[in-house]
Chain A
Amino acid sequence: MLGPVLETLIGGLMTGVLYSLVALGFVLIFKASGVFNFAQGAMVLFAALSLARLSEFMPLVLAFAFSVLIMIALAYAIEFLVLRHLVNQEGIILFMATLGIAYFLEGFGQTLWGSDIYKIGLGLPTNPIFILESVFPGGLLIDPVELIAAIICAVMVLVLAVFFQVTRVGRALRAVADDHQAAQSVGIPLNQIWLMVWAVSGLVALVAGMMWGAKLGVQFSLSLIALKALPVLILGGLTSIPGAIVGGLIIGAGEKLAEVLLAPVLIRTFDLAGGGIENWFAYVLALAFLLVRPQGLFGERIIERV
């Protein structure tokens, strides 16, 4: 029994890392601009579609470079056409704007690149790795794609943490997040900062899209991966990069263990109609944490002085 549980736990943690990759994009934009970017999932799709279609005509490295440029251009377009006109608007207005961007990107991405399933050939090994075969019968299974994603994610978190904490731009980003007007008054160029953060978030979306695309194939469903990131954000907090990672791990492991261990018990005990529970269980788990820590595990507690 221990073997299957451990295997499910490892599988869940690995999947959780992939959720974190998507959640990171949300956190970056919220942290730096206070905008909950509903378009993050669509950005993942758009980035992956660009990479996959471009790689049909050129080497992957070159396609990646062009995709980076496309994501920067997209960030510029979003800043120039949408955000610039909404400075100092309520958060909900900015959220609604990202909703519009999400639908536009999903539709435009498919119109531009097509709605078939496209391939990103990273040449990753697909055959499973088995560890501890002498301890557990059949060993414990590790998916090599997810293992590599975990490593990439770890590197990315390190880079982002350094960027935010150490660099001048990172400090400016945090200042903008705290108060747009105050940041502007001390000479921080708001437009440039927003452009930068959306571009960085676009790069994160590109990496997430590349990993998910390599795993699933690049197609519309990638934009729905964002739904998997929402409970991660509820749990980890919207402003914490480590929170996105830990949240992803807890949600990933929690939902897999629930599906494998809890669902059969629930169905048997209460004679239920059946059905998968992992999707909604992730939200239940996140809500449970929310009741105890409304700001999320690592989120900043908002204190308002009257």
Chain B
Amino acid sequence: MTGKTMSGIRVGIALAGAVAVAAPALAQNEQFIPNLVYRTGAYAPNGVPFANGIADYYRLINERDGGINGVKIVFEECDTGYATDRGVECYERLKGKGPTGAAYVIPLSTGITFALTEKTTVDKIPIISMGYGRSESRDGSVFQWNFPLLGTYWTAADIILQHIAKKEGGFDKLKGKKIALVYHDSPYGKEPIALLQKRAQMHGFETLFLPVTHPGVEQKATWLQIRQNRPDYVLLWGWGVMNSTAIKEAVAVGYPREKMYGVWWSGAEPDVRPAEDGAKGYNSAALQHTAGQFKLHEDLKKYLYDKGLGAAKWEETGEILYVRGLINAMLGVEAIRTAQERFGKKPLTGEQVRWGLENLDISADRIKQLGFEGELRPIKVSCADHEGTRTGRIQTWDGKKWNIASDWLTSDDSVIAPMVKEAAAKYAAEKKLTPGCLVTN
């Protein structure tokens, strides 16, 4: 059987699986989770592996454990194409499905996250924006329904700057240096600017902000400016084709890839492979995990792939975005499990799952038990901290694979916390919100 036919069958299984689980009159002991994905469009090369990781984890929980404490997961995909309007449409269509409505929503887009933030407050459905979304949304007293788990963009930018400072011999050595940010001209791309400005003010380095318009296929002007301004480092905040184009353009203008640092959404295989050898030496932040298979894959093989139930090709299940999908789904499932301890082992409402997210506490032992050892560090969420952990690493592409290139780095909360407080207070004032922790009965 050819690879093409196989992949067609896999897509068929993925779709049929999603529909088959979703279609039958939704029995009462089922937990519905909408899955906003993009398997088509300009961002599909990045969207597909992430969607596969999520689908496989939910299916694994059903196949191996019979659901979450016996409550079967029912999920349905809706293709947003990474477009905000379609994302909102998907959310509206899926939010009320299942016996208790959507448990949570994973938008996989900062733009869609921005658009849904006010809607989900009304609908009482939590948003899990793992590694993206508004940076100030970690303040759970204002953003009661947003959970930017594992790290915000301010955390990402801070980790990268810490790594650069370490290389240079300390933050004081950054004085007089020039750091450029090549960013997707969207809410996502603009997120790190505030942190970079703050750090620039503190340490005396110069910044250069260079926007790239969607989808980022034409970056000649940007990279000529890089060549002409000769920044000491370039930070890349791109997504999809913008990333690979940026690396190719860096090659074309002779900018050293060793001096380039992408955010964790600019550090996956589809970002570097098109540039082939040109990407060698390129760095990116790692959202804790990196590429490669690990303990959980034994179960994935046994319960899904050996039975032909996997959504991806087996050899792709160690890729960064697939692994990220697994982690994201696992955090959601664990939040439901946490909430079940309080509200009972039954399908839960979004409001109850929100409580589970806000009380999520995954220890190192539990991470090991879940099969994710080495992929992420303990996470403890609270009303004051919807991020749960702000630790990451730097990885470097060697032409064939990603290698970890730093120790664990934790963003400096003495810098970020006041920024979060100020931005969240401003948001609360604009929206006439009274900050406070939400009580769920």
Contact = CB atoms under 8 A, between A and B. Distances in A.
Interface residues on A, range: 35 or more
B45 A275 contact: no
Interface string B216-260: 111011101101100000000000110011001001111000000
Interface residues of B, number: 39
A219 B248 contact: no
Contact of A141 (B42, B209, B227, B270): B227
Contact of A224 (B215, B222, B274): B215
Contact of A119 (B48, B211, B213, B274): B274
A228 B252 CA distance: 21
Instruction: Identify whether the interface residues of A are mostly helix, strand, loop, or mixed.
Output: helix
A32 interface: no
Contact of B40 (A4, A107, A217): A107
Contacts of A12: 220-221
A7 B209 contact: no
A115 B40 contact: yes
A215 B241 CA distance: 12
Contact of A221 (B221, B227, B240): B240
B7 A114 contact: yes
Contacts of B244: 117, 216-217
Contacts of A110: 40, 44
B217 A216 contact: yes
Contacts of B278: 126
B210 to A, nearest CB: 8
Interface of B is mostly: helix
Nearest to B216: A221
Contacts of B251: 126-127
Contact of A128 (B7, B215, B241, B253): B253
Interface in A109-129: 110, 114-117, 119, 126-128
A15 B273 CA distance: 23
Contact of B45 (A14, A107, A115, A259): A115
Counting chain B CB atoms within 10 Å of each CB, the highest count among A7, A14, A15, A141 belongs to A141
Contacts of B222: 259, 276
Contacts of A128: 252-254
B42 A256 contact: no
B228 A7 contact: yes
A221 B48 contact: no
Contacts of B221: 8, 11-12, 255-256, 259-260, 278
Contacts of B228: 4, 7, 260
A71 interface: no
The interface centre, meaning the residue of B213, B215, B221, B224 with most chain A CB atoms within 10 A of its CB, is B221
Contacts of B252: 126, 128, 141, 143, 145
B270 A116 contact: yes
Contact of A219 (B7, B224, B227, B241): B241
Nearest to A5: B228
B212 A276 contact: yes
A119 B216 CA distance: 18
Given A116-B48, A260-B224, A274 B211 contact: yes
A217 B279 CA distance: 14
Contact of A276 (B41, B211, B274): B211
A7 B211 contact: no
Contacts of A36: none
Contacts of B45: 115-117, 219
A8 B254 contact: no
B213 A220 contact: no
Contact of A216 (B4, B7, B212, B248): B248
Nearest to B242: A221
Contacts of B40: 107, 110, 115, 220
Contacts of B211: 274-276
A116 to B, nearest CB: 5
Contacts of A259: 221-222, 225
Nearest to B48: A115
Interface in A142-178: 143, 145
B217 A221 contact: yes
Nearest to A56: B3
A216 B227 contact: no
A128 B227 CA distance: 12
Interface string A267-306: 0000000111011000000000000000000000000000
Contacts of A217: 241, 244, 274
Contacts of B185: 275-276
20 contacts: A7-B227, A7-B228, A12-B220, A15-B218, A15-B220, A114-B4, A114-B7, A115-B39, A115-B41, A119-B276, A126-B251, A138-B227, A141-B227, A145-B252, A215-B248, A216-B245, A256-B224, A260-B228, A274-B211, A275-B185
Interface of A: 4, 7-8, 11-12, 14-15, 107, 110, 114-117, 119, 126-128, 138, 141, 143, 145, 215-217, 219-222, 224-225, 228, 255-256, 259-260, 274-276, 278-279
Given A119-B274, A260-B221, A275-B213, 15 more contacts: A107-B40, A115-B40, A115-B41, A115-B48, A117-B270, A126-B248, A141-B252, A215-B248, A216-B244, A219-B45, A221-B215, A255-B221, A259-B225, A276-B213, A278-B218
Closest 6 pairs (CB-CB, A-B): A217-B274, A259-B221, A115-B44, A276-B211, A276-B213, A221-B241
